Amino acid sequence: MAKELVQFRNLETHFHTSAGIVKAVDDVSFSIREGETVGVVGESGCGKSVTAMSLMRLVEAPHGVIAGGEILFEGKDLLQFNKKEMSRIRGKEISIIFQEPMSSLNPVLTIGEQITEPLMLHLLLDRKEAKKKAIELISLVGIPRPEEIFYSYPHELSGGMRQRIMIAIALSCDPKLLIADEPTTALDVTIQAQILDLMRELKSKLGTSIMLITHDLGVVAEMADYVIVMYAGKIIEEAPVLELFKDPQHPYTKGLLKAKPVINQKQERLYSIPGQVPNPVELGDNCHFHDRCEFCMEICKVKQPPFRAHGDNMHKTACWLYEEEGKNHE
Ligand code: SF4
């Protein structure tokens, strides 16, 4: 089995708001191995992007605080790194592609200037070498006429091309880990498929590990090796991708799968999980999904289920339905 590149250990990221403390990431532990794609899924506000921001050390103080845990990258705890050490890692060892390329690219700089900057900063290339490598990268992500695109501004490109440029910038310094935060959400379906193909191709060519953040289980099925399902700041299920789709255990995961449209299947209305995500400042020491769950028992309202394997060691769930203690309450 490949070596672990990133290990989140009991990560706690909190935000201090006027209404109280929001535990956006609550005791989260998982690993990403070398060359592996790990899909992190869940509804908006479940903590998936904050987990990635914590890894990049982009959680903004004083409101946002990493309150506990460790994030090991190649065995070293990133939370102990100072600003200078972190800026050496960011963009070089770990890079990120955001959801909306238009707001991530600088509108007043040419594409060439934006790709060459990290090459000169992290790889210490001179201007001429950086330009050569930038043109190679533009071509690598499948954009024709790379020399011409080098001098273009972001507004002159389509959404799909801008996202390809974001991928080129993210890959410019051969990162070991690429974080893709909803990389295809803002794109139409055809371009979405092209971007996913491109990421898959680049991953097999370059061997980069990917942390893929999405709410789209279709994207996870196509791309991920392993899946983490988050709800209200916690991991509630994790499994290898085929196992998760074959045998989902947690009622929330089952709901997400049921809510996915199926081609050629007539449905009067698309299923949606009833209720709302709970108010993050009012979470108790219970199953956070309890008031949306059709299987809710008394114990679910008062006690948090343990997160552990029930059968296959790689498939873990936090649900009282799979615990002896829970079965006694049925
Ligand atoms: Fe439902 Fe209880 Fe399982 Fe939570 S612990 S998902 S409420 S059955």
Give per-residue pLDDT as tens, 201-239: 878 888 899 999 998 888 899 999 999 999 999 999 999
Question: What SS3 state is found at 217?
Answer: helix
From the CA of 296, give the closest atom in ligand 1: 7
- pLDDT for 264: 66
Other C-beta atoms closer than 10 Å to the C-beta of 82 total 7
Ligand 1 centroid vs 55 CA: distance in angstroms? 29
Pick the residue whose CA is nearest to atom 5 on ligand 1: 319
**Percent of the chain residues topping a pLDDT of 70:** 95
């050629």: which residue's tokens? 264
Q: Are 98 and 104 a contacting pair, CB within 8 Å?
A: yes
Q: pLDDT band at residue 328, thresholds of 50, 70 and 90?
A: low
- pLDDT for 326: 67
Question: What integer is the mean pLDDT of 64-89?
Answer: 95
Ligand 1 centroid vs 235 CA: distance in angstroms? 13
Ligand 1 centroid vs 215 CA: distance in angstroms? 21
Ligand 1 centroid vs 239 CA: distance in angstroms? 18
Contacts of 18 by beta carbon, 8 Å cutoff, 6+ apart? none
């899909």: which residue's tokens? 39
φ and ψ at 102, to 5 degrees? -65, -40
Ligand 1 centroid vs 196 CA: distance in angstroms? 34
Angle between helix 127-140 and helix 159-171 axes, rounded to 10 deg: 130
From the CA of 287, give the closest atom in ligand 1: 4
* Predicted confidence (pLDDT) at residue 330 exceeds the cutoff of 60: no
Contacts of 151 by beta carbon, 8 Å cutoff, 6+ apart? 110, 111, 112
Q: pLDDT band at residue 91, thresholds of 50, 70 and 90?
A: confident
From the CA of 293, give the closest atom in ligand 1: 1
* Predicted confidence (pLDDT) at residue 266 exceeds the cutoff of 80: no
* Predicted confidence (pLDDT) at residue 329 exceeds the cutoff of 60: no
Ligand 1 centroid vs 14 CA: distance in angstroms? 24
Instruction: Indicate the average pLDDT of the chain.
Output: 90
- pLDDT for 9: 98
Give the pairing of strands 226-231 and 234-240: antiparallel
Tokens representing 250?
Answer: 């947690």
Q: Give the global pTM.
A: 0.90
Question: What integer is the mean pLDDT of 278-298?
Answer: 93
Number of H helices, E strands in the chain: 13, 12
Contacts of 174 by beta carbon, 8 Å cutoff, 6+ apart? 206, 208
From the CA of 295, give the closest atom in ligand 1: 8
H helices within the chain, ranges in order?
48-55, 83-89, 101-104, 111-122, 127-140, 146-150, 159-171, 189-206, 217-223, 241-246, 251-258, 298-302, 324-327
C-alpha distances in Å from residue 214, one per residue of 176, 220, 225, 303, 324: 20, 8, 14, 29, 33
- DSSP designation for 64: E
How many Cα atoms are found within 13 Å in the side-chain-facing hemisphere of 279? 6
Q: pLDDT band at residue 130, thresholds of 50, 70 and 90?
A: very high
Q: pLDDT band at residue 102, thresholds of 50, 70 and 90?
A: low
- pLDDT for 315: 95
Question: What integer is the mean pLDDT of 150-161?
Answer: 92
Which residues form ligand 1's pocket by a CB distance below 6 Å?
250-251, 287, 289-290, 293, 295-297, 300, 305, 319-321
Other C-beta atoms closer than 10 Å to the C-beta of 127 total 10
- DSSP designation for 90: B
